């Protein structure tokens, strides 16, 4: 009788331990609230949930920010890291993008170079159509051959309409075919209010975009082609010679590059119909912004609005860095059946958040992972996430194992499982 009881108990233990090796006691979802990181005093006032709107000029700003008046007909300012809109004015209104259209031309060239379909050393012939093209010019020679490296700079820095046509014809066979590719790329990027009719932004019926779409395109250029993006910040480019044989040097048409605003690109535009506009990217204290303004009557008015927006951003927002990639945010996360009982958890990326200055003392950090974690674990395995919460924004970053944790051997697993069955802990 005693032997039968012991045999039955042993059988039960084997079954239970097999289950426990695969699954410990019901997994608990661990959410830990970290102490608010703050340098200021807690503000007890209730955060306004609705966007503030300036009735004078229809500018909508993010919660917690002050009103601003702009002369631009269309405008938008976004946080480049998250895509969050900080300011907008008629951002979805169809407008004439003028030479800002060239951003899609240069994007496609950069993308084909990235994929290995093109090389900067390639040269393309200059057709009569390209040579005769009016407006801003790179001054390509009729019948000559021009390197793609030069054409790309001619498009970006000199805003050469002729350079756009030479590149388009050389790459796609015709400008019309290249425009088809531009519109396909716009659709793939979900630029739903954009349609191109030519490669340069030359005035043409049916050629339009919006401030929101142009901001999204500018962000794609920066993120998808960081090496090529350096060209957008070059202040001058020399190509060709004039009638007296002197080199033709042209400055970058982006006036913000010559100021102390922190601007490093990307493209200006002007036509009689569209007015003066610009897509600009600038950095302030580690924070990158993308700004689009259009419909200004003069170059000076464009510069004034741009400076006003940057000053407004500095006045209203602050970039708070909470962690650097690899920082430990949980020192000892429990591990089930591992040679180590705990493992540190680290963030995989830098964690920064752009906040209204009125909210910088209201940041809550929460850690989420399933506890206990199951061995084996490899350093870098994603096991959870960190959520940063503020009244007007939310940001998440992956949480990873900071060390390798091997699984214990068979006998250790067996005895830990029995211990868990008898006493409720391994």
Q: 43-61 burial string, b = 16+ CB within 10 Å, else e?
A: eeeeeeeeeeeeeebebbb
Enzyme catalytic residues: 99, 102, 159
CA-closest candidate to residue 139, choices 152, 121, 158, 125: 158
Mode of pairing for the β-strands spanning 328-336 and 373-374: parallel
Size of the chain, expressed as the number of residues it contains? 426
Strands 263-271 and 328-336, sheet pairing: unpaired
Calculate helix-pair angle for 410-423, 2-22, nearest 10 degrees.
110
Q: Which residues contact 256 (CB under 8 A, 6 or more apart)?
A: 263, 278, 280, 282, 303, 306
Which letter does DSSP use for residue 320 in this model? Answer: E
Q: Which backbone phi and psi does 403 adopt, to 5 degrees?
A: -145, 160
User: What Cα–Cα distance (Å) separates residue 228 from each residue in 101, 146, 153, 196, 233?
Assistant: 17, 19, 10, 22, 10
């Amino acid at each position: 009788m005693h032997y039968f009881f012991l045999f039955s108990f042993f059988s039960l233990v084997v079954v239970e331990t097999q289950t426990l090796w695969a699954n410990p006691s019901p997994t608990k979802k661990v959410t830990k609230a970290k102490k608010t990181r703050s340098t200021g005093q807690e503000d007890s006032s209730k955060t306004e949930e609705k966007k503030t709107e300036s009735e004078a000029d229809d500018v909508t700003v993010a919660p917690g920010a002050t009103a601003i008046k702009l002369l631009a007909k269309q405008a938008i300012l976004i946080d480049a890291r998250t895509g969050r809109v900080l300011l907008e004015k008629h951002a979805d209104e169809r407008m004439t993008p003028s030479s800002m259209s060239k951003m899609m031309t240069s994007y496609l060239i950069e993308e084909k170079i990235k994929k290995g379909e093109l090389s900067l050393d390639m040269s393309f012939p200059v057709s009569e159509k390209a040579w005769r093209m009016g407006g801003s010019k790179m001054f390509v020679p009729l019948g000559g051959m021009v390197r793609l490296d030069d054409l790309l700079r001619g498009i970006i820095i000199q805003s050469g309409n002729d350079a756009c046509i030479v590149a388009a014809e050389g790459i796609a066979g015709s400008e019309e075919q290249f425009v088809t590719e531009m519109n396909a790329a716009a659709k793939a990027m979900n630029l739903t209010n954009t349609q191109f009719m030519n490669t340069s932004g030359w005035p043409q019926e049916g050629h339009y975009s919006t401030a929101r779409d142009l901001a999204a395109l500018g962000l794609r250029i920066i993120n998808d082609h960081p090496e090529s993006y350096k060209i957008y910040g070059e202040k001058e480019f020399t190509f060709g010679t004039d009638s007296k044989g002197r080199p033709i040097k042209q400055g970058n048409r982006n006036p913000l590059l010559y100021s102390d605003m922190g601007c490093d690109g990307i493209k200006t535009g002007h036509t009689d119909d569209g007015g003066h506009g610009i897509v600009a990217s600038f950095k302030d204290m580690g924070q990158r912004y993308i700004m689009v303004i259009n419909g200004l009557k003069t170059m000076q008015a464009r510069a004034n609005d741009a400076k006003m927006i940057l000053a407004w951003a500095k006045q209203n927002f602050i970039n708070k860095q909470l962690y650097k990639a690899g920082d430990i945010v949980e020192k000892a996360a429990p591990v089930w059946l591992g040679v180590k009982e705990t493992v540190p958890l680290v963030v995989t990326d830098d964690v920064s958040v752009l906040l209204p200055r009125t909210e910088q003392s209201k940041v809550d950090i929460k850690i989420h992972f399933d506890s206990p974690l199951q061995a084996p674990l490899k350093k870098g395995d994603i096991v959870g996430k960190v959520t940063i919460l503020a009244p007007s924004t939310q940001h998440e970053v992956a949480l990873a194992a900071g060390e390798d944790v091997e699984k214990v051997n068979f006998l250790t697993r067996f005895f830990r499982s029995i211990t868990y069955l008898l006493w409720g802990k391994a």
